[in-house]
Every structure is written in structure tokens, then in C-alpha cells.
């Protein structure tokens, strides 16, 4: 099966990354903490950490179903580099994919900024952790976690995310369910790590909102380095951990001949 034209693949990556950043970060900026006045008391009517975690998972789930058949549904430079390490994407597509993902993330951050700034009194607090859905460590960590903790959790969770992606899209996995597994994995990743770094595992997501917050921009390097390390580790080790036995390999080939659609 031949790949779609590169133009179509890049449009899919742009739209998918835009949707991930706009939907996930938008839920954090616009809906995570909404205050309602009840008498003299302010009541938090926002969606909170759980809602934001679900929002990120749902953007990936819906984006993968809508666009994954065109580009593979990476929407994340770390995923693209992990796919390269696992030999799931050709080298010539890597730079165009990553550039497109970064542009999509920044475009989403810009649209979100225009919307958020339409509310009276809106301002990005450069000293506040997670301001404008940015990622950070130390003073910019939601719960005050340091650089080493941020580095470790982003490496580990990105590696796990890539293992889920590579496993769910493996030819031996049940066909058609990959976006569900990937979306739920990203939801769980956010539930674990929002208190530590506000959750990145995606350099384009981090940079897309950090360009509007100079304090976060100074720390964004970690949210490129750590996810890429985790993704490449997963990509390089996936085939080793999921090696087929000789009999299994022959069985897979036989199944593909009998039912080519069975493996996607």
C-alpha cells in the first residue's frame, strides 16, 4: 500500500497537531478553572486536572481516527523520531513532519491566545506554574518538582507512550482500535504528570504555548530533550521486546495472505 502524497500527509500533521494543542491546552486555559459566584462565595465550576487529561486524550483519539490514515497520526515530533527509530517512517519525511507539527502547535497557541485575550482582565502570569498551559520545572512546576524529576518523568512517560503507539499499530494488534488505546494512554499520562510538569511528552505542544510566555520559553528545552530521548529509546527497543518467533512470523505472513485487511 503506497503512502498518500506528502502534501496530504503534511496537512494531516498540521491539522492534527493544531487540534491536539488547541483542544488540550484550550481546555486548560479556558475551562480548567471557571469561577461562579454563589452569594458571597466563589465556586470552582471548572473541569480540573481530570477534565484536561481527558481533553488531551480525546484530541489524539479523534485526530487519529480522522487523519491517521493519511499521515500515521503522529502530531508530535517525539512520535515521529520514535517511529523513525522503529523504522516505521522514511527518513526523508522526518524533517517535513517535525516542521509542520511545530507550525501547527504555534498556530494553535496563537488562536488560543486571541480567544483567551478576549476576556477582560486576561493576562499571562509569567511567574505562575502552568500559566497559559505551559510546561515547567522548579518554580514553574505545578507542584514544585525540580529539573531532575521533570526530566525523568518526561523520558519515562514518552517512552511508554511510544510503546503503546507502536504496539497498538503493530500488524499483529487488533485492527481499528489503535486510536482508542493511544488516546487513553495519553489521558493516563496526563493524570500522572500534570502535577510534575503540566505534562508535555510532545515538543510541539510545549513550544506552541511557550512562545507566548517568555519564562516558560526558557525551560522549553527540557520538553524537547526528554520526550525525544524517551521516544528514541522506545523506538530502538520495540522490535527487540516484541520480536516474533520463527513460527509466529510465518503465521503472521500466512494470515496476511488469507486476509490482507486483517492487519490494517
Mean pLDDT of 146-155: 98
Q: For the whole model, what pTM was predicted?
A: 0.89
Q: Is the pLDDT of residue 14 over 50?
A: yes
Q: What is the pLDDT of residues 90-145, one digit of tens each?
A: 999 999 999 999 999 999 999 999 999 999 999 999 999 999 999 999 999 999 99
Q: Is the pLDDT of residue 264 over 70?
A: no
Q: What is the pLDDT, as a whole number, of residue 111?
A: 98
Above pLDDT 70, what percent of the chain? 87
Q: What is the pLDDT, as a whole number, of residue 211?
A: 98
Q: Is the pLDDT of residue 37 over 70?
A: no
Residue 2's pLDDT band, with cuts at 50, 70 and 90, is confident
Mean pLDDT of 57-76: 98
CATH of range 6-263; options 1.20.1050.10, 3.60.21.10, 2.60.40.10, 1.20.1080.10: 1.20.1080.10
Residue 260's pLDDT band, with cuts at 50, 70 and 90, is very low
Q: Domain residues of the chain, as ranges?
A: 6-263
Give the DSSP per-residue string, the chain. Answer: -PPPPHHHHHHHHHHHHHHHHHHHHHIIIIISS-EEEETTEEEE-S-HHHHHHHHHHHHHHHHHHHHHHHH-S--SHHHHHHHHHTT-S-HHHHHHHHHHHHHHHHHHHHHHHHHHTTSTT----TTSTTGGG---SGGGSTT---HHHHHHHHHHHHHHHHHHHHHHTSTTSPTT-HHHHHHHHHHHHHHHHHHHHS--S-HHHHHHHHTT-HHHHTTTTHHHHHHHHHHHHHHHHHHHHTPPPHHHHHHHHHHHHH-GGGG-
Mean pLDDT of 212-227: 97
Q: Is the pLDDT of residue 242 over 80?
A: no
Q: Is the pLDDT of residue 192 over 70?
A: yes
Amino acid at each position: 500500500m503506497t503512502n498518500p502524497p506528502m502534501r496530504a500527509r503534511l496537512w494531516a500533521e498540521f491539522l492534527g497537531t493544531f487540534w491536539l494543542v488547541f483542544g488540550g491546552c484550550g481546555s486548560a486555559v479556558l475551562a480548567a478553572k471557571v469561577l461562579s459566584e454563589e452569594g458571597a462565595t466563589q465556586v470552582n465550576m471548572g473541569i480540573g486536572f481530570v477534565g484536561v487529561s481527558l481533553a488531551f486524550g480525546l484530541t489524539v483519539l479523534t485526530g487519529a481516527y480522522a487523519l491517521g490514515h493519511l499521515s500515521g497520526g503522529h502530531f508530535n515530533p517525539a512520535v515521529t523520531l520514535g517511529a523513525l527509530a522503529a523504522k516505521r517512517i522514511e527518513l526523508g519525511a522526518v524533517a517535513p513532519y517535525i516542521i509542520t507539527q511545530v507550525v501547527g502547535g504555534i498556530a494553535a497557541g496563537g488562536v488560543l491566545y486571541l480567544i483567551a485575550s478576549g476576556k477582560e482582565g486576561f493576562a499571562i502570569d509569567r511567574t505562575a506554574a502552568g500559566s497559559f498551559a505551559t510546561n515547567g520545572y522548579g518554580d514553574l512546576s505545578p507542584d514544585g518538582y525540580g529539573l531532575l524529576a521533570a526530566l525523568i518523568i518526561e523520558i519515562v512517560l514518552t517512552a511508554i507512550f511510544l510503546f503503546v503507539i507502536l504496539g497498538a499499530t503493530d500488524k499483529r494488534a487488533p485492527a481499528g482500535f489503535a486510536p482508542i488505546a493511544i488516546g487513553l494512554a495519553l489521558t493516563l499520562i496526563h493524570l500522572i504528570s500534570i502535577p510534575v510538569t503540566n505534562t508535555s511528552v510532545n515538543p510541539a505542544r510545549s513550544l506552541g504555548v511557550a512562545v507566548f510566555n517568555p519564562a516558560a520559553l526558557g525551560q522549553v528545552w527540557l520538553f524537547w530533550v526528554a520526550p525525544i530521548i524517551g521516544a528514541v529509546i522506545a523506538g530502538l527497543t520495540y522490535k527487540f521486546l516484541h520480536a516474533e518467533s520463527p513460527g509466529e512470523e510465518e503465521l503472521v505472513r500466512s494470515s496476511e495472505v488469507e486476509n490482507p485487511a486483517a492487519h490494517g
